[in-house]
Amino acid sequence: MGAPVSLGDVSELKSEDDKRRLFLVTAEDTPDALMRVLGVASVQQVRLRALTAQPEGADIAIRLEIDDQGDDRAQVLAARLASVPVVRGVGHGWR
């Protein structure tokens, strides 16, 4: 048995493949808003790693964390999300 790995050692083991993008979506709080947003992510074939959604007044705040597929793919996903009729805003960046 080897020595236990500390958290510091684990972070050094992360590769380029472990990069993630975070998308913050604000949408009208309709019964199908979350499914519409997830539908776009599915069609764009992103690998979803984390998801949170919570109401904020008349809106719903949706946080999607996905595997990074490069800047171009992130821009396309952001544009597609922004084109969903119930979506009011999209922001994205690195996690």
The number of domains in the chain is: 1
DSSP-derived 3-state class of residue 69: coil
Distance between the two ends of the chain, CA-based, in angstroms?
Answer: 34
Q: pLDDT tens-digit profile of 53-66?
A: 999 999 999 999 99
**46 within domain boundaries:** yes
Starting at the edge strand found earlier in the chain, the sheet holding 59-67 runs 48-56, 59-67, 20-28, 87-94
**25 within domain boundaries:** yes
**38 within domain boundaries:** yes
Higher pLDDT, 61 or 95: 61
**28: domain range?**
19-94
Stretch 1-22: mean pLDDT: 56
Task: Say what the pLDDT of residue 12 is.
Answer: 45
Q: pLDDT tens-digit profile of 15-71?
A: 555 789 999 999 999 999 999 999 999 999 999 999 999 999 999 999 999 999 999
DSSP-derived 3-state class of residue 8: helix
**14 within domain boundaries:** no
Task: Say what the pLDDT of residue 11 is.
Answer: 43
**55 within domain boundaries:** yes
Residue 26: closest CA among 74, 72, 58 = 58
Residue 53, domain CATH? 3.30.70.260
